[in-house]
Amino acid sequence: MRQNAIRKFFWFFLLILSVAFLVINSVLLHQKINPAVFLVFILADVFILLYFLKVFSDRSLLVHFQIERNTEQVNIIKAENKRDREFVQALEFKITRYDNLKKVIEDLNRSLKLDTVIHVLSSAVYSLISNNSGCALFYLVNNQYQKLNLVYSIKDDSDLVVLTKEGDIFDQWVLRHSSQLIIEDLKNDFRFDLEALPNLEARPVLSLISSPLISHNSLLGLLRLESKNSGAFNQDDLRFLSLVADLGAAAVENSLLFQKEQDLAIHDGLTALFTRPHFITRLKDEARRILRLDQHLSLMMIDIDFFKQYNDKFGHTAGDIVLKKMGHLLKNTLKEFNPLLCRFGGEEFLVMLPEVNKQKASGIAEDLRRRIEKENIVLRRQDTQVTVSIGVASLPLDTKDEDELIQKADKAMYSAKRKGRNRVCSI
């Protein structure tokens, strides 16, 4: 606005000056003045006019230049403000994302169950990184076979089926290199052969990030996010996924150790069958269910005949071999009946057969006795066989109390021993 006022002032000043020159010239023309003086005066007028025109032109150029420079500065400031706003938004997003790590850690600390830990980790990255779109996959490593096993997945498409339960070429790459992986656009990534992905049309993947879960130099699993859109993930996403994976590795390792301890607490270390306390607890629960539904439950008490002689003749190591073999035979022979197997103590075993009546249980016990009798066991390079005495009792036919049921099965087993061993008896 100030520039417009200056411009108007100069135009007004030149107009007044021109009018003054015209008036003076007009007066001089009516008077007899020396032509040379008149010419000098006219040239002076023209010079003054040109001078003021130049001054005004220079001022106009200066003002125009200043306007352009100010406009450029304004554009630079606008661009900087835009970058600052974008930076602030990105920073706020990162702060929000990393603030959620506190909740993730709290959720991980609430439980040592492996299923809970896997759910917390998968849900966290799926929400915080993928914004609940695409697919999240959680694999655990089978250390015995060095293979991946898909244990959990989250998908935005309920009809989508993940067929590669042991991982695809991307997961195998992470497993082989124990390193992070990011693919921003699969079509432009020449590290992988797309022909090795037969299900790419049914399950389109254009971008993904994946991070291994490593604890004490041991690869426990991997966490992967994928999208059917290219450019869905960036390096910040990969760094955050890696951070969650590092936290998750410690949590998964603790859960696996806890699970192992739990298994050791309820399983016999020699035969891998259930321990006596766990079996009795399960028997009580199952007995209540059976009585409520008016069904049957049978119990077999099994004792290895002359087991002390094996220890005396071949040593205690040979006795352990016999017990392991017995556990293996019980699992394989009875698996179709969904039994609950227990090493009751020493060389005695208990077998619970839910929804099996006494008559059928006696037949199953007889088949088991014959199967064990025919089994060849090598002890100190000698072929030998073992026999068993089996007692059978059923609920509710023999009793409605689970403790008494064990006593009656035990009594039937001792009856088999008194009758010559290697036989099945019932009360």
Which tens digit of pLDDT belongs to each residue from 50-75?
Answer: 666 666 677 777 777 888 888 888 88
- Classify strands 340-345 and 348-354 as parallel, antiparallel or unpaired: antiparallel
Query: Is 288 among the domain residues?
Result: yes
Q: Indicate which CATH number applies to the domain containing 300.
A: 3.30.70.270
Question: Residue 73: its pLDDT value, please?
Answer: 84
282 and 142, same structural domain?
no
The angle at the Cα of 151, spanning 145 to 157, to the nearest 5 degrees, equals 135
Are both 297 and 420 inside the same structural domain? yes
User: What is the rounded distance in angstroms from the CA atom of residue 87 to the CA atom of residue 67?
Assistant: 30
Residue 34 has pLDDT above 60, yes or no: no
The answer to the question of residue 106 being in a domain is no
% of residues, the chain, pLDDT over 90 = 47
Q: Are 28 and 36 in contact (CB under 8 A)?
A: no
When comparing pLDDT for 240 and 33, which is higher? 240
Torsion of CA 385, 389, 395, 398, to 10 degrees: 160
Q: What value does the mean pLDDT take over residues 23-29?
A: 57
Q: Indicate the residue among 231, 265, 299 that finishes a domain.
A: 265
**Of the residues 59, 80, 101, which one is the last residue of a structural domain?**
80
Closest of 360, 358, 364 to residue 395, by C-alpha: 358
In a domain, 387, yes or no: yes
Question: What tokens appear for 63 in the block?
Answer: 């003002």
Beta strands 388-395 and 424-426 are parallel
If residue 289 lies in a helix (H) or strand (E), which one and from where to where? helix 276-293
Q: Please report the DSSP string for 310-343 in residue order.
A: HHHHH-HHHHHHHHHHHHHHHHHHHGGG--EEEE
Q: What is the pLDDT of residue 363?
A: 96
Q: Are residues 63 and 134 in the same domain?
A: no
Statement to judge: residues 232 and 292 lie in one domain: no
Are 365 and 412 in a shared domain? yes
Provide the domain count of the chain. Answer: 3
- The sheet carrying 218-227 orders its strands as 147-155, 135-142, 218-227, 207-215, 181-183
Rounded to an integer, the average pLDDT of 270-275 is: 92
- Round to whole Å and give the CA distance between 252 and 243: 14
Max Cα distance, the chain (Å): 168
pLDDT in the model for residue 383: 84
Shared-domain flag, residues 259 and 117: yes
Residue 129 sits in the same domain as residue 246? yes
Closest residue by Cα to residue 171 from 193, 145, 143, 139: 139
Instruction: At 226, list the tokens.
Output: 């994928």
Q: CA 350 to CA 172: how far, in whole Å?
A: 44
DSSP 118-141: HHHHHHHHHHHTT-S-SEEEEEEE
Based on the domain organization, do 298 and 410 belong to the same domain? yes
Instruction: Indicate whether this model's pTM tops 0.75.
Output: no
**Which segments within 124-262 are labelled E, that is strand?**
135-142, 147-155, 181-183, 207-215, 218-227
What secondary structure letter does DSSP report for 423?
S
pLDDT for res 259: 85
Domain boundary among 80, 102, 131: 80
Mean pLDDT score, 123-152: 90
pLDDT for 56:
67
pLDDT at 67: 82
- pLDDT above 70 (res 31): no
pLDDT tens-digit readout, 81-105: 888 777 767 666 667 777 778 888 8
β-bridge pairing 218-227 and 297-304? unpaired
Query: Among residues 16, 15, 10, 12, which one has the least CA distance to residue 63?
Result: 10
Q: Yes or no: say if 342 and 323 are a contact pair by the CB < 8 Å rule.
A: no
pLDDT at 1 > cutoff 60? no
pLDDT one-digit tens code per residue, 181-237: 999 998 888 888 777 676 666 678 889 999 999 988 889 999 999 999 999 999 989
Residue ranges making up the domain that contains 394: 276-426
Q: Average pLDDT of 270-284?
A: 92
The answer, yes or no, to whether residue 33 has pLDDT greater than 60, is no
pLDDT at 404 over 90: yes
- Distance, in Å, from the CA atom of 119 to the CA atom of 123, rounded to the nearest integer, reads 6
SS3 96: helix
Mean pLDDT of 303-332: 87
Q: Per-residue pLDDT for 169 more than 70?
A: yes
The yes-or-no verdict on residue 378 having pLDDT over 60 is yes
Instruction: State the pairing for strand pair 181-183/340-345.
Output: unpaired
Q: Are residues 261 and 282 in the same domain?
A: no
- Same-domain check for residues 120 and 238: yes
Looking at residue 401, the DSSP 8-state letter turns out to be: -
pLDDT at 332 over 80: yes
Q: What's the confidence (pLDDT) of residue 49?
A: 65
Average pLDDT over residues 140-162: 85
Under 8 Å between Cβ of 302 and 390: yes
φ, ψ for residue 204, nearest 5 deg: -65, 130
Instruction: State residue 112's pLDDT score.
Output: 86
Is residue 85 included in any domain, yes or no?
no
Q: Residues of the chain with pLDDT > 70: what percent?
A: 84
DSSP reduced 3-state for 116: helix
With cut-offs at 50, 70 and 90, classify the pLDDT of residue 28: low
At 26, is the pLDDT very low, low, confident or very high (cuts 50, 70, 90)? Answer: low
Nearest in space to 136 (alpha carbons), one of 205, 208, 225 = 225
- What is the mean pLDDT of the segment spanning 17-33? 57
- The H or E element containing residue 17 is helix 2-30
